[in-house]
Amino acid sequence: MAEPLLTPGALAAPSPRAGALPRIRALVQLRFVVMWNTLRRHPWQLVGAIIGALYGLGVLGLVSAGLVALALGSAELARTVLILAGSALIVGWAIAPILSTGMDRTLDPARLAMMPMRESVQLAGISIASLLGIPGIVTLLLSAGTAIAWFRSPGAMIAAIVLAPVAAATCVLACQLTVTALSRAAGHRRFREIIGGLVLLVLVLVGPLVSVAGAGVASIADRLPALANGLSWSPLGAVWAVPAEIAAGSGLSAAAKLLVALATPVVLLLAWAALYRANQGAVAAGSRTSARAGLGWLGRFPASPRGAVAARALIYWLRDPRYLQSLIVVLVMPVVFGFVSASTSAPIMLPGSTVIVAALLALSTFTDISYDGTAFSVHVLRGVRGIDDRLGRIWANAIIAVPLIAIVAVVTTALVGRFDQLPTLAGLTAVITLAGFGVASVCSAIFVMPVPQAGENPFASKPGAGMLSLIGMAGSYGALTVIALPTIACTIAAGVTGRPFWAWLTLAVGVVTGLVACWGGVRWGAAIFDRKAPDLFARVSAQG
């Protein structure tokens, strides 16, 4: 019989002979046992974890190739690139907990506050477990790999390898300091909503931001060495600058920066320990709720199962951060397409953003059941019919989506002055919206996605969620594209010929095709729902 990775008494109160090392080892084992059990329960999460590891290896290979290129260039170029990139790496580790809570939090300090072990043991266990994760291992290997850039200087190569653990420790401690500092604030729903909204804006605008940043870097390229020199004396860049100083023969500067590099993780550890101590025993405040008189939206819909489903779904749309992020996309997507159309001299792309907005909103009910979580039990226990569930969710989605899509279509068309093509755009948008409702009705009755639970950061993710989402969304977008092919053909004809006949034909074909696809999808999805509702609930419960 195989010996268990973690014995039942591993975390019990220490015996007089027990030291710190067994406790630290038990914490590290705990992290990997929990992770492995989670992956075994969810095969797609295991596939995602494997792909994540392969992605890390790919990044490692690409960076290694870049380091070889730096080795063949000038020492000044290598110094500038390594200090700037290394500083960015430490900053990335520090802000990662702000951008996403999807990182592994098995050893969250808040969960260990009541453990019968010393503070130093807990901190050491958390740090080592973080360092042994895929990001930590990749960071350690990348830090050691910077020695490649200094192959002409054996002393610099040795320094880079020796300081690799210091660099990795700095990254991990910066991350944990942020986690602990935000542990109380992250318990408040409003804080999570604000951070989630800001992150989504950055992610959606990443293309324009990268373009602007690239132009800015190109304009200040001659100042980058001076910037790297300034960072080399800071906690961000000192650890990367020591090999560069040794390669340049500046022993005094190397020694001074070595002190800064060694002091940085010590200071981070002391600051983290102080915050950890302050948070020990604190109970997260959580979100405040307030009672409201009346039934709210439940009283504004018909007193029927379909109306109740629609009311509850609409409440989610208006109050759940996981749904609100879809609405933020509606506001940002036209901005992105406007930037692209201005840079490519293709103004028609601005109204084209309406089609993307329609697809995103119409298919958003794809994850409705997954977002319900254990609340989906009400549908199963009360015997809600599939047709009522499907139409109720579409009803709520349409109340939000249709007015927004119409506003985006009219405003973007007015901005480019092409009202002659508005019927074409309306037809294409109609088939995407209506058929999207139908496709989502079928897919949401088949797939249960690993999604953030209620109250979590809307960007929290689980291993494998990306792969399963990719498969489900590829199928749904592919089906939507096939259904829209006749309307797309009419759209192309309208654009090429410029004749009003084709524009109005596109509108007619789009509306008819969309209505047929919507009704067919709802009926098909309802039949699947009626047959598999208990199985859906079992899978929804298992993902939590």
* Tokens (6 digits) for 450: 């690993």
- Same domain for 233 and 346: no
Together in a domain, 528 and 388: yes
Q: Which residue's entry shows tokens 């907005």?
A: 357
State which of 279, 295, 324 marks the end of a domain: 279
Return the structure tokens found at 175: 């991350």
CA distance 380 to 387: 13
Tell me: do 122 and 246 sit in the same domain: yes
* Domain finish residue from 231, 261, 279: 279
Contact (CB, 8 A) for 504 and 416: no
Residue 294 lies in a domain: no
Domain final position from 261, 279, 297: 279
CA 322 to CA 366: how far, in whole Å? Answer: 13
Is residue 295 situated within a structural domain? no
Nearest to 264, CA basis, from 219, 306, 295, 233: 233
* 374's tokens: 């254990």
Contacts of 128 (CB under 8 A, 6+ apart): 24, 27, 28
Are 251 and 199 found together in one domain?
yes
Q: Is 66 contained in some domain? A: yes
Residue with tokens 């379909």: 306
Q: Are residues 258 and 315 in the same domain?
A: no
Does 82 map to a domain? yes
Residue 296 lies in a domain: no
- Residue 122's SS3 state is helix
In this structure, is residue 436 part of a structural domain? Answer: yes
Q: Which tokens in the block code for residue 170?
A: 């700095």
Closest C-alpha among 279, 307, 296, 452 to residue 367: 452
Both structure tokens of 391:
């139409």
Do 353 and 250 share a structural domain? no
Residues 467, 407 share a domain: yes
Q: What total number of domains does the chain contain?
A: 2
- Whether residue 476 is contained in a domain is answered as yes
My answer on whether 201 and 55 are in the same domain is yes
Whether 221 and 316 share a structural domain? no
Give which of 360, 484, 487 is closest to 423, Cα–Cα.
Answer: 487
Distances (CA, A) of 174 to 127, 180, 253, 256, 272: 10, 10, 25, 22, 9
Calpha distance 405→186 (Å, rounded): 33
| Closest among 518, 426, 503, 441 to 476, alpha carbons compared | 441
State the alpha helices, DSSP H only, in 417-499. Answer: 422-443, 465-483, 485-497
Biggest distance spanned by C-alpha atoms of the chain: 89
Closest C-alpha among 393, 392, 398, 386 to residue 523: 386
Residuewise pLDDT in 10s, the chain (544 residues)? 344 444 444 444 444 445 667 777 777 777 777 777 766 766 666 666 677 777 777 877 888 888 888 888 788 888 888 888 889 889 888 887 766 544 455 555 555 655 666 767 777 777 787 777 778 888 888 888 888 888 888 888 899 899 999 999 999 888 888 877 776 555 555 555 555 555 555 555 555 555 555 555 555 566 778 888 888 888 988 999 999 899 888 889 889 999 999 999 999 988 888 877 776 655 444 444 444 545 666 777 888 888 888 888 888 887 776 777 667 767 777 777 777 666 666 677 788 888 888 998 888 887 777 777 777 777 787 788 888 888 988 998 899 889 989 988 888 888 888 788 889 999 999 999 999 999 988 988 887 776 656 555 555 555 555 556 667 677 788 889 999 999 999 999 888 888 888 889 999 999 999 999 999 999 999 999 888 888 888 777 766 5
Residue 49 and residue 196 in one domain: yes
pLDDT at 453: 61
Extract the tokens encoding 451. 């999604």
- 434 touches 355 (CB < 8 A): no
Retrieve residue 359's tokens: 């697809």
Give the structural domain span for 336.
Answer: 305-543
> Which residue's structure tokens are 């009910």?
365
- For residues 368 and 313, is the Cβ–Cβ distance under 8 A? yes
The CB density around residue 295, as the number of other CB atoms within 10 Å, is 11
Whether residue 376 sits in one domain with residue 427: yes
Tell me, yes or no, if the pTM score tops 0.75: no
Residue 297 Cα distances to 12, 292, 302, 306, 374, angstroms: 50, 11, 10, 13, 21
Is the CB of residue 55 less than 8 Å from the CB of residue 36?
Answer: no
Q: Do 73 and 207 belong to one domain?
A: yes
Rounded to whole angstroms, the Cα distance separating 440 from 393 reads 10
| Contact yes or no for 54/469 (Cβ under 8 A) | no
Assigned domain for 288 exists: no
Contact 170, 298 (CB under 8 A): no
